[in-house]
Structure 1
Amino acid sequence: MGWLFGHGQTRAQLIARLTRNEEHDSVTRRCLRHCTSGNVLWTVWEVQRSDDAPMRYIGCDLLAWDRACAGWGYKDMCEQMEPLYYSCPLAYLDMVPPAAPAWREQVRAWHAARSRTLAPGDVLTLSGLSISEAVVVSRHHRMWIVESGGRLFRFPPRLFRHIVRQRGADTCGGPQHAG
């Protein structure tokens, strides 16, 4: 599965082409919903043959600009391929029967981590990073600044999934965060 690029194609043109409804040989394919998250296009498709019940699936198209052809291209995947992208809208999961339960759990975990709220003074226990515990110091735009071992680190929301425990500043045992 490779990438397909169109010469001189804009991003909007590509998205319009990837989400248009089609009908061929008594098979209808309709895009019920679509949205983008960065350069990932999420779609919910309904495919129906003339005599069969409709089938639905979630599509995931990666979008990229190619300088050589001066146009946008895509790489298409579906839920069954368990893409390593988890920004699929939660509402889409309710619209389609599960094809990859493990991937859906990753999507739910990604959304839960992104909705996490931090506050200065919170103590974070982390897993899968080079630091195992950090104290939230401040926020700069969407980026959090944390302190660990006397050093400051940037902590963007995409790393929230590494938080295994969060203790509020008021439950940490005093100003030194002992405990």
Structure 2
Amino acid sequence: MGWLTMPFTSMGGHPTAKAYLDAQFTYTHEVEGGTKGLRVLASSCPQNRTYYAATQVMTNGIGREIFAIICKVHWCPNSKTGEHFGYKDMEESMGPYEDDCPRSILDLLSPTDNEYAQAWRTRCRARLERRARKLQHGDRVRLDSPVKFANGHTGSEFIVEKRGRRLSLRDPETSLRYRITRFMDLPWQVVPVTKIHKTIFA
């Protein structure tokens, strides 16, 4: 499905992308012999950028399998063309590129044999694991791939400097400090430091 865009006046009074999409994916239709529909069990749309939802198939009011819906979101309150909000929806079985789904939503999903959905869930959980890594002030880290900065410097090893929640990376050779966007999402390893203990003679 392609993009669907609209002005705020067409959002049915819903104040956010999340509220609108929750309503869109929660519905019941009359069919021969009963009803069919969907129900959003949990959803997330941080900063109105990407929407993730655990969505349950409903048949005659009974909950069936639960799968993920992902929407790329366009949110532009100051649009001069009236395209304030837009979205492009897809299911996990389509193998979406976006893989920042919260763990709370992933944990609700039913088991699946679909290879694309399995691969997507694996990528989401791998990202969660990367973000859960712990760093201490003074740790030495090595990126799997070197990063080139605006000043022309290219580096792959840095010393971690933490000031509260702020994190910067110091080059061990030049002592220059850098910041890397979405650093916790990148593949890197903490370099073990060999500690030399003093020998004490009795």
TM-score computed with the length of structure 2 as normaliser: 0.71
Q: How many aligned positions are there? A: 171
User: What residue number does 1:6 align with?
Assistant: 6
* Mapped partners of 1:75, 1:142: distance in 2: 34
Letter in 2 for 1:57: F
Report deviation, 1:62.
1.9
Distance 1:72 1:172, change over 3 A: farther
Distance 1:57 1:136, change over 3 A: same
User: What residue number does 1:79 align with?
Assistant: 92
Report deviation, 1:152.
2.2
Per-residue Cα deviation, 1:12-63 (whole angstroms, up to 9, x for no partner): 3543231122111321211111122332111111123449972321011122
Of 26, 29, 52, the residue aligned with 1:24 is 29
Gaps of 5+ in 1: 175-179
Q: Which has the larger displacement, 129-138 or 74-83?
A: 129-138
User: What residue number does 1:15 align with?
Assistant: 18
The question of 1:152 aligning with 2:157 is answered no
The question of 1:62 aligning with 2:72 is answered yes
Letter in 2 for 1:27: K
* Mapped partners of 1:143, 1:136: distance in 2: 7
* Conserved? CA contact 1:128–1:162, under 8 Å: no
Pairs within 5 Å for 1:1-179? 1-9=1-9, 12-20=15-23, 21-25=26-30, 26-38=35-47, 39-50=49-60, 54-66=64-76, 67=79, 68-96=81-109, 97-98=111-112, 99=114, 100-130=117-147, 131-139=155-163, 141-150=165-174, 151-156=176-181, 158-167=182-191, 171-173=193-195
* Mapped partners of 1:128, 1:50: distance in 2: 53
Identity %: 25
Letter in 1 for 2:133: R
* Conserved? CA contact 2:142–2:190, under 8 Å: yes
Q: Which has the larger displacement, 32-41 or 50-59?
A: 50-59
Per-residue Cα deviation, 1:133-165 (whole angstroms, up to 9, x for no partner): 211133474443332541321034x22233432
TM-score computed with the length of structure 1 as normaliser: 0.79
Name the SS of the counterpart of 2:73 in structure 1. strand
Larger Rg: 2
Superposed CA RMSD in Å reads: 2.7
Name the SS of the counterpart of 1:54 in structure 2. strand
Letter in 1 for 2:41: L
Distance 1:7 1:108, change over 3 A: same
Gaps of 5+ in 2: 148-154, 197-202
